[in-house]
Structure 1
Amino acid sequence: MALNVPLLSELYDKHPKPAHITFQYGTAGFRTLGDQLDSVLFRMGVLAGLRSKKLDGKTIGVMVTASHNPEADNGVKLVDPRGEMLETSWESHATALANVNTATEFVDALDAFVKAVKIDLSKPARVVYARDTRPSGPALVAALEDGLKAIGAEAHDEGVQTTPILHYIVRCLNTKGTKDEYGEPTPDGYYNKLATAYKKLVGTKTTLQPLVVDCANGVGFFAIEKIAPLLDSHIKLVPQNVAVDTLGVLNHACGADFVKTQQKLPPSLASVLKPGERACSLDGDADRLMYYYLDERGQFHMLDGDKIAALVTAFISDLVKGSGLEGKIEVGVVQTAYANGSSTKYMEDRVPVRCVPTGVKHLHHAAEHFSVGVYFEANGHGTVLFSPSCLETLRTHEPSTPAHATSLKHLLSLTELINQAVGDAVSDMLLVEAVLAHRSYSGEQWDSLYADLPNRLVKVSVPNRNVFKTEDAERRLVSPPGLQTKLDELVRKYEGGRTFVRPSGTEDVVRVYAEARSRGHVDELAFKVAGIVYDSQNGDPAKRPREFL
């Protein structure tokens, strides 16, 4: 069987590549302004079909989203059969196909690619896809559908869904009828699975006060709206920032990224959240989660991915001990350089900790090496993985006491509550609420597990982020030459100082992270580093951000 060259060429010509743009498949797939992505979506439809054929007809997912980015942006990423990110070796193929300039070149590139990776074109191609609420979504989905048609894929449109729901559906479809069957491959199957597990885990524990949920004016609102009635009286969710049909408000002054980078309450919640109350923020596609609370004086306190990891790790470790499985199940944590230094110390006193480069694929892969692998980026993206051998142990273990049996039952409920395919704000929110109910913790008690070192995250616009190269899990720069030496000299001037610089995987910026013992020092360190980075790229002094001076 051969490629349908006439159809590929005909449909290719409907989706010309913009001149003078080079696309790159990064940490979160392709991501840029939505009106520049039409050609990319067509090509990724073709690639998704080929990926499925390569894997003997397993279902591949395609998600059209730009997550926490501004509303004008959009993006696309492919999802592999177990709900995980696209295999790394295929990222370069995606980049290459996205950048060819003519139909003839595209067909030739496809033909060479099919031969190089030995794809049997007679195999079936199955693809499921979804999008978030961005205005550019429908047009980009239409381009994707042309790509799927061109490669002859059997495709199913899940419509507007959170990113984690698509990952969940992909995993369910590919495990259906096997011993690893993950659930019913529908959005309703997802909502019912999580709600049932949450109610089992919480049981008769005292219900906490209502939880305010900032939905970032995005698709997460639909998920909260769907799951809230299934939770019965166990918890009341109070959704805010739900203007999904209003242009220009997605992720604007709200959402998980706003809370993390600005380290303050979304302005829209100022009259909603009262002293002593907690809340959480999802991002635009509901795969990130950020918690926070107001203390009795009305002061804002952030509970980020590090705090979530600490809460969850301690709880799971206690359950493993309580079930009599200590020594048989190893709990471990995976972090990135963004993890607060205090959180790393807290974890290391309890479980093994690994540091890996930023990006879900790195965290996910490292977490698979533990029986129970907990990974959360500080930005609130993360989940917990239970290895196949761990799941088998939990299913077959015979508890010797009633207390062991209770802890074992809770661990099994956790395996159902946690979305093990990908970081999932809704699943993680219910996980946090379940742990808080078991511990009878307020936001302040949770926060007191350890004291964060003051930290600051700054974005710096540069002409070309790709000139910034890192090593040591992205904690040190190797390029541009000499820049790391300048940073080392600067950071030595600050007690408890730590800083690193890395190119963003999702935006055309360089990210600067800094820590120090005091808030004043960390702000000063962060902006001095940002200034050094800006100047290293010969930035126009007139355009140098004022706060860097």
Structure 2
Amino acid sequence: MADLEGAFQMSLLHPNLKGVILQYGTAGFRTKAEELDHVMFRMGQLAALRSKKTKSTIGVMVTASHNPEEDNGVKLVDPLGEMLASAWEEYATQLANAEENQLTVILEKIIQEEKIEMHIGAFVVVGRDTRPSSLKLSQTAIDGIISLGSKHKDYGLVTTPQLHYIVCCHNTNQMYGTASVEGYYEKLSKAFLELTKQTPNRTDDHKHLKVDGANGIGALKLKEMENYLQKKLLISLYNDGTAGKLNHLCGADYVKVQQKRPEGIRMMAGERCCSYDGDADRVVYYYYDSASLFHLLDGDKIATLITTFLKELLTKADLHLQVAVVQTAYANGSSTRYLEETMKVEVHCAKTGVKHLHHKAQQFDIGVYFEANGHGTVLFSKDAQKKIQQLVENQNASKEQINAAKLLMNTLNLINQTVGDAISDMLLIEAILALKGMTVQQWDAIYTDLPNRQVKVKVADRRVIDTTDAERRAVSPPGLQEAIDSLVQKYSLSRAFVRPSGTEDVVRVYAEADTQTNADLLAHKVSLAVYKLAGGVGEEPKVVRS
């Protein structure tokens, strides 16, 4: 039996709030900040146990991403910068919801089930976003780490992807990069400058990008990084945190859902703009055309641009590596058709949540994954990285092959392979546009999105909805999928699906069709079916139109 008396005594300073039941999901825990004190303490403890189990550095990130400023949350980062292992998500849920007198029982259970040797040292790195509650909550997590006699390093204000990067650096003997924010800036900027040095004739207009920082940590860190980019990218930063509230009427989630520009940013026709979310792990692009119509380039457009670029380089390098794109059910049907039919790339559908896409993308030489919300990255297998490096060093290869291999190597170094990263993805997009001499309008014109609509339906219990086929079909309640199938047949180029929220009693409805009017009508009729068959509460859903 481990001696947990000291840990128990410290836990009494962070008592469980009665009636607060939380579930560790893809994004960790998220709720009102005032409800999280005991959760942070216990996640500090769990991170220490995970560190002992894996004999590696583990990360604790205090953030609630795109949630409102009054919320907060926590997620744990596994040894190679990936999401917490699924089995440990269950431990996290048990710990977070345990009564005081059950805390040591559950800690003992984890120690025994995982055969953790408590005498082994542990090291946990901690980071936080800019929310007013984050400093205090990160200190509470540190208390939890200390309660089990473990060591830690507090990296303070960092983006979520920076903490993932730092964890990976610690556990690869700095092979992935230097385990610091400065090391992150140096690695990414060096790769970006190498990629763009072959584009000397770009005007300042071509280099100019307007960035909406969501009044969050991404704005702060982009300011720090600007000097590293040596004016190869000219950034105008808006919603930088000096005035507005985090994620309020701005940020990637707002732009994606509302399909309009964020507050606080001026846009002229044709200007290239992008938005981060609150912890800078996702990015979306957009612009106004000459008729003042708003155009959004989301995760699907980003995945398509990157995949096109990688395929071209692999062809020039004569490297036969398998490239696959992983999407979710939310991916626009036009993007899937373009990738499969025009690009001849295999496309796979995974359940919503980046951990599902990440795991699927790991199965290929090069796996490109993006959720439609702009969260995604590119994974290169060890074998793919080795083949690219060998070609760079192959003196018998042609000049074109070696040049393509060098571009691939710099692309690889610019990508944060641990997790979706707004700054890294933005720099990669900017480098590709520069190398291809493309405007944002030309990028947008690669394919035309099918009009779509997302709505939410409040229900008494979201668990009545069960899905299969990567969430594209509902298996319960009875009759719902049949109703959806019948409705879809009434519209051209249409599809629709429903899935329960991971955090609240709502059902999310997605529909797309040949026109916006039809997409809106289909979404409405499906939401009515959900309301009637899945226990809707409150008023009946109304038609949502642009």
| 1:6 corresponding residue in structure 2 | 5
**Structure-to-structure mapping, 1:142-291, within 5 angstroms:** 142-176=139-173, 181-205=175-199, 206-207=201-202, 208-244=206-242, 246=244, 249-269=245-265, 272-291=266-285
Relative to structure 2, which stretch is displaced further, 426-435 or 518-527?
518-527
Q: Which residue, 128, 132, 135 being the options, matches 1:131?
A: 128
- Letter of the 2:509 counterpart: V
Shift of 1:84: 0.3
Match of 1:464 among 458, 461, 466: 461
Match of 1:473 among 470, 475, 489: 470
Q: In the alignment, is the contact (CA less than 8 A) between 2:47 and 2:58 conserved in 1?
A: yes
Query: What's the offset of the Cα at 1:548?
Result: 6.5
**In structure 2, what residue type is equivalent to 1:344?**
T
Change (3 A) 1:304 1:221: same
- Alignment pair present for 1:517 and 2:514: yes
1:172–1:185 contact (8 Å) kept in structure 2 = yes
Residue in structure 1 matching 2:326, options 334, 343, 347: 334
Cα shift at 1:507: 5.2
- Residue 504 (structure 1) aligned to one of 501, 505, 510: 501
Deviation above 6 Å: which 4+ runs of structure 1?
A: none
Question: Is the Cα–Cα contact under 8 Å of residues 462 and 504 in structure 2 kept in the other structure?
Answer: no
SS at match of 1:436: helix
In 1, distance between residues paired with 2:75 and 2:137? Answer: 13
TM-score normalised according to structure 1 size: 0.95
* Superposed CA offset, 1:22-60 (max 9, x none): 11011111111111111111111110000000012x000
Secondary structure, in 3 states, of the residue corresponding to 1:268?
coil
Aligned to 1:36: 35
Does the 8 Å CA contact 1:530/1:548 hold for their aligned counterparts?
Answer: no
Q: CA deviation at 1:476?
A: 0.9
Q: In the alignment, which residue of structure 1 is the partner of 2:307?
A: 313
Distance in 1, matches of 2:299 and 2:242, equals 25
Contact 1:462 1:539 in 2 (8 A): yes
Match of 2:53 in 1: 54
1:42/1:146 contact within 8 Å kept: yes
1:66-145 alignment runs, 5 A limit: 66-102=64-100, 104-145=101-142
Task: Find out whether 1:423 has 2:420 as its counterpart.
Answer: yes
8 Å contact kept, 2:276–2:284: yes
Rounded Cα–Cα distance in structure 2 between residues aligned with 1:200 and 1:286: 24
What's the offset of the Cα at 1:508? 5.1
How do 1:397-416 and structure 2 match up within 5 A?
Answer: 397=391, 398=394, 400-416=397-413
8 Å Cα contact 1:28-1:505 kept in structure 2:
no
Q: CA deviation at 1:132?
A: 0.8
CA distance in 1, matches of 2:183, 2:145: 26
Alignment: residue pair count: 536
1:373 equivalent in alignment to 2:370: no
Indicate if the aligned counterparts of 1:258 and 1:266 stay in contact, CA closer than 8 A: yes
Question: How far 1:352 moved relative to its partner?
Answer: 1.3
Shift in CA distance, 536/34, structure 1 to aligned 2, threshold 3 Å: farther
Q: Say whether the 8 Å CA contact 1:528–1:548 is kept in structure 2.
A: no
CA shift at 1:134, angstroms? Answer: 1.1
5+ long unaligned stretches in structure 1: none
Moved more, 161-170 or 528-537: 528-537
Structure 1 position 245, deviation (Å)? 6.4
CA contact (8 A) 1:28 1:506 kept: no
* Shift, 1:93, TM fit: 1.2
Q: Which residue of 1 aligns with 2:446?
A: 449
For the 8 Å contact 1:341–1:453, the answer to whether it is kept is yes
Residue deviations 1:174-233, cap 9 Å, x none? 1015xxx10010001101111110010011314324100000011110121011111112
Instruction: Indicate the larger mover: 405-414 or 146-155.
Output: 146-155
User: How far is the alpha carbon of 1:491 from its aligned partner?
Assistant: 1.7
Distance in 1 of aligned mates of 2:111 and 2:364: 36
499-508 vs 236-245, greater mean Cα deviation: 499-508
1:348 aligns with one of 330, 335, 340: 340
The farther-off stretch of 14-23 and 416-425 is 14-23
Letter of the 1:358 counterpart:
T
Question: What displacement does 1:11 show?
Answer: 1.5
For the Cα contact (< 8 Å) 2:459–2:537, is it kept in 1?
no
User: In structure 2, do the counterparts of structure 1 residues 317 and 507 end up closer, same or farther at CA, with 3 Å as the change threshold?
Assistant: farther
Cα distance change on mapping 1:377 and 1:47 into 2, 3 Å: same
Q: How many angstroms does 1:160 deviate by?
A: 1.2
The letter for the 1-side match of 2:249 is A
Q: Helix, strand or coil for the counterpart of 2:73? A: strand
Which of 337, 354, 357 is the equivalent residue of 2:351? 357
Q: Please report how far the alpha carbon of residue 360 of structure 1 lies from its aligned counterpart in structure 2 after TM superposition.
A: 0.9
Query: What is the percent sequence identity of the aligned residues?
Result: 50
Contact residue 4 and residue 151 of structure 1 kept, 8 A:
no
1:283-334, Cα deviation, whole Å (9 max, x unpaired) = 0000010001111222210100000000000000000011121x2x111111
Indicate conservation of the 8 Å contact 2:459/2:535, yes or no. no
1:348 Cα deviation from its structure 2 partner:
1.0
Aligned to 1:295, which of 267, 270, 289? 289
* Counterpart contact for 2:464–2:534, Cα < 8 Å: no
CA distance in 1, matches of 2:230, 2:458: 47
Larger deviation: 250-259 or 462-471? Answer: 462-471
Cα distance change, pair 80–428 in 1 and its aligned pair in 2 (3 A): same
Q: CA deviation at 1:431?
A: 0.5
Find the aligned partners of 1:534 and 1:73 in 2 and give their Cα distance: 28
Q: Alpha carbons of 1:243 and 1:411: their partners in 2 closer, same or farther (altered >3 Å)?
A: same
Q: Distance in 1 between matches of 2:61 and 2:463?
A: 25
The Cα shift of 1:537 comes to 4.4
**TM, length-normalised to structure 2:** 0.95
Equivalent residue letter for 1:468:
I
CA distance in structure 1 between the partners assigned to 2:288 and 2:475 by the alignment: 41
CA distance in 2: counterparts of 1:319 and 1:539, whole angstroms? 51
Cα deviation, residue 506, structure 1: 5.1
Q: 1:322 aligns with which of 316, 324, 333?
A: 316
Report SS of the residue matched to 1:267. Answer: coil
8 Å Cα contact 1:261/1:458 also seen in 2: no
Is the Cα contact below 8 Å between 2:195 and 2:411 reproduced in 1?
yes
Distance, in Å, in 1 between the alignment partners of 2:243 and 2:168 is 30
Aligned-pair CA distance for 1:530: 2.2
Deviations 1:373-423 (A, max 9, x none): 100111000000111011111111226211111111100001110000100
